[in-house]
A and B are shown apart, each in its own frame.
Chain A
């Protein structure tokens, strides 16, 4: 894997400055790091959301690559069409270049409204990378809850209040849902570990079929913390195993980062205003349940990794 000196010289910037994502936004860091995973020309698709809206305000576009946005729930279907056209035209000799295809969708456009079109594209086996930048809510429209919102988080449509502690439901395990489609490459990554993320991006771009990476996207606006702490909040999520880093290659799971000292989930949650109501005494049970869920999921991953390495 290339180091930063080589990357800064060899890979062009596909996303220019001048986009209007918030200062300190995790999404643009993800886009930059993921696109460092290939030197080939890329065609980028994005669902409606922070990324698409802030990078393509007519007549400005921050994309130095071809870019297509269609609607909220269908970037996977749209890129399926682009990728199929590419194969059709290449077969007819009308295109010769090697081009990579990548779709970016927020958790809103992926876990919820976009789940169907993602599933269809994965089942059909198109050669493309799908990256979900998961910031745990519909951030672009005002921090509304999604299927990816962590339990206990306060969002504007499932806020904490006198009679509620925020989101009651556990979040969907989208990475597992995607893995159940038996595609060549599935991973969870984070900007907390840029080297791991870029390596995963390389593998994804080189997969012989669909590849998927779920990346925790840190949103200081929606999560309520100082914009400067974006990366340290990302790191705490990984060190607490709330957001484990792993990959599934042809069905075999491997954890790519194991914290030396697993910190309590509350250390991650304490950094964010969206969880501050959980500090109340009557939320003690919820906090314990949240910790237990994280621990159980981590154990499950360790067991699966051991089982897969035996086969």
Chain B
């Protein structure tokens, strides 16, 4: 196989390939658009004997995550995948997976939460799970999806982290669009993730453990404090996984990416596929002499506060694009967290928010240009049109 050969694959297919190469012991999954292709492709790999994975065709997403908790507690490397209402249905157990400290890796194909029912892309599902204790990685394109899933296994299973990871991609936009993806060799992936050494197992009948006890008021807080610490430790130890990934595959992963933002006056902060659209607009506007850039967080949990503060501190104005609403009247989730971390910074930009793209509403280059114009005019005049805007809705 020639080096850097590109294989045409959709985001969902690439996720299934990553899972194939990881070859988990157990996968328990339930189909939901637009994640279905992941489960269907993986099921075909199983049926053709290309993976030695036991699949559990569960009868709901709640049971999917429940079976994953069971399998992971039994020392098996375990994966699942879902979207939107599927994530919402398993919500109870999503929290349990994190608080039981099980290193489950779950691709999530971002889709709007009902009602009304909508199968298209927005981030309301995984943003809704931001307090669950899972590590969250957002991916711009199929290549990032593929690499992040493999990276996620190493992060989840790190002995100082031991937290589940959701790897997010935009529904239909990334999941169902074909891109040229560079796949690594099966052996290289196997070497990178190594053999799974579970922290404990309910199958160890010589050393019986109890999983999922009742905590009264005297212990629950201590268990939660441990989880807080795990996220702090994740910030500290995830770079080790980045290093190892670079050594194995020659690719660099980071907490936050910055595109032409070092000498920018104004920048847009955006996650996932929208970041690609923003890059294109940045290039066009830079040619016209405008000093603009893009900040693209890759990790939302743990929240890479220091990195983001370093990148946006020196800027004059920043627009955070949120593809979900918190319904707090104070803007979207990423905007709130970024404003929060900048509050005490000596140097900080004006920060405004646009909520966009809900239910798969497209965001066009013209929309991004509009945002940059607002930022640049605001920098010049000192006045900004509004604090929180809605980009692309019919008023």
Contacts and interface: CB of A to CB of B under 8 A. Distances in A.
A116 B60 CA distance: 9
A57 B209 CA distance: 14
Tell me which of B26, B28, B73, B74 has the highest count of chain A C-beta atoms within 10 A of its own C-beta.
Answer: B74
Interface residues of B, number: 43
Contacts of A120: 58-60, 63
B93 A85 contact: no
Interface string B86-106: 000000110010000000000
A82 B59 contact: no
B211 interface: yes
Given A41-B205, A70-B66, A88-B76, A81 B92 contact: no
A88 B70 CA distance: 13
Contacts of A58: 213-216, 219
A111 to B, nearest CB: 17
B181 interface: no
A277 B58 CA distance: 44
A81 B211 contact: no
B273 to A, nearest CB: 33
A80 B54 contact: no
Interface in B172-223: 201-205, 208-216, 219
Nearest to B68: A81
B52 interface: yes
Contact of B54 (A52, A57, A63, A87): A87
Given A71-B93, A88-B25, A77 B67 contact: yes
B213 A82 contact: no
A124 B78 CA distance: 18
Contact of A64 (B70, B71, B208, B212): B208
Contacts of B212: 56, 68-70
B66 A71 contact: yes
A246 B136 CA distance: 51
A14 to B, nearest CB: 9
A117 interface: yes
A41 B387 CA distance: 63
B25 A89 contact: yes
Contact of A66 (B54, B56, B71, B209): B209
Contacts of A292: none
B323 interface: no
Given A43-B203, A61-B210, A85 B70 contact: yes
Interface residues of A, number: 46
Contacts of A67: 202, 208-211
Nearest to A41: B205
Contact of A57 (B52, B73, B208, B216): B216
A63 B28 CA distance: 27
A78 interface: yes
A57 B220 CA distance: 11
Interface in B15-67: 25-26, 28, 52-54, 56-60, 62-63, 66-67
A28 B303 CA distance: 46
A56 B60 contact: no
A162 B26 CA distance: 55
Interface in A24-61: 41-43, 45, 52-53, 56-59, 61
A11 to B, nearest CB: 15
A70 B54 CA distance: 21
A183 to B, nearest CB: 15
Contacts of B203: 43, 66, 82, 85-86, 89, 95, 99
A58 to B, nearest CB: 4
B11 to A, nearest CB: 27
B55 to A, nearest CB: 9
Given A66-B204, A99-B203, A74 B54 contact: no
Contacts of A247: none
A65 interface: yes
A109 to B, nearest CB: 12
B389 interface: no
A91 B28 CA distance: 18
A81 B208 contact: no
A57 B212 CA distance: 10
A118 to B, nearest CB: 10
Given A58-B216, A89-B76, A123-B59, A63 B208 contact: yes
A8 interface: no
A68 B59 CA distance: 21
Interface of B: 25-26, 28, 52-54, 56-60, 62-63, 66-76, 78, 92-93, 96, 201-205, 208-216, 219
20 contacts: A66-B204, A66-B205, A66-B211, A67-B210, A68-B202, A69-B212, A77-B70, A79-B70, A80-B63, A81-B56, A81-B66, A82-B73, A83-B70, A84-B54, A84-B70, A87-B54, A88-B26, A116-B63, A117-B59, A120-B58
Given A42-B205, A65-B205, A80-B58, 16 more contacts: A41-B205, A43-B205, A45-B70, A58-B214, A59-B219, A65-B208, A68-B212, A69-B213, A70-B69, A74-B62, A77-B58, A77-B66, A82-B70, A82-B202, A95-B203, A120-B58
Top 4 A-B pairs ranked by shortest CB distance?
A81-B70, A120-B59, A81-B67, A85-B74
